[in-house]
Amino acid sequence: MPTDEETLALLRRIPLFAALDEQELQRFAQTTHGHAFKRGEILFQKGDPAEGFFFLVAGQVKLVLLAADGHEKVVELIQPGMSFGEAVMLIGRPYPAYAEALGAGRALYIPRAGLIEAVRSNPDFSLRLLAGLSARMHALVREIEELSTQNALQRVVGYLVGERVEQAADAVDLPASKAVIASRLNLTPETFSRVLHTLQERALIRVSGRRIELLDVAGLRACNG
């Protein structure tokens, strides 16, 4: 069967795969499936067996924890170029969250077997995978820290300042609806709205729709630590 040139090009863009040579990439390409989805589609349910991981090519995906009483919490917002599900796949446990598309998009599904094979044959690949997982663990620890030691205002400020660094500008464009961002910060939409209002009153930010101008970054930083 002929190797899909486009799939190959996409795999090359995955940071994790930077250490692979052409032949190794082709092996991955043979088991990789593309998957186009539309808004609201569920990529996997909580509890589904994790036999591979995803690489998001286009669109947005939210990873959502589902509590017993129906409460939901967005753990992560996946943007194009990011992968998700690697860790769960490696221990062979079912997904602890479900993944829902926020809009139409496209993802690659890369089965587990190829990964194990690559770890066995390419130490540089192993190191890169380890580094990626470690970075994500670090982020999780930070999230636990923020959840357990910061209040609503501090979490919002922390998020805004963090996004500012990523977007390299003094205005932040929220990458999703305020309700989704609120959940990501473990807030209700109401509280999120109120906090933004407060910050605006203090002349620290200016809100217009999903665009938030940071008027006084130093003042913002002073809000938490």
CB of 204 to DNA, least distance (A): 15
**Does position 42 bind a second copy by CB under 8 A?**
no
Residue 5 binding target from a second copy, DNA, none, CB below 5 to 8 Å by type: none
Can you tell me which of 9, 18, 113, 141 binds a second copy, judged by CB under 8 A? 141
Is 46 in a helix, a strand, or coil? coil
Give the interface segment with DNA, choosing from 13-21, 74-82, 87-95, 191-199 (CB under 7 A). Answer: 191-199
Q: Which C-beta is closer to DNA: that of 112 or that of 194?
A: 194
CA distance 25 to 21: 6
Q: Which C-beta is closer to DNA: that of 110 or that of 195?
A: 195
**Does position 188 bind DNA by CB under 7 A?**
yes
Which two three-digit tokens encode residue 173?
Answer: 């464009």
CA distance 65 to 95: 10
Q: Are 26 and 7 in contact (CB under 8 A)?
A: no
Residues of span 124-163 touching DNA by CB under 7 A: 151-153
Residues of span 94-123 touching a second copy by CB under 8 A: 96-97, 116, 119-121, 123
DSSP letter for 49, please: B
Segment (H or E) for 167: helix 152-167
**Does position 191 bind DNA by CB under 7 A?**
yes
Query: Dmax of the chain from CA atoms?
Result: 63
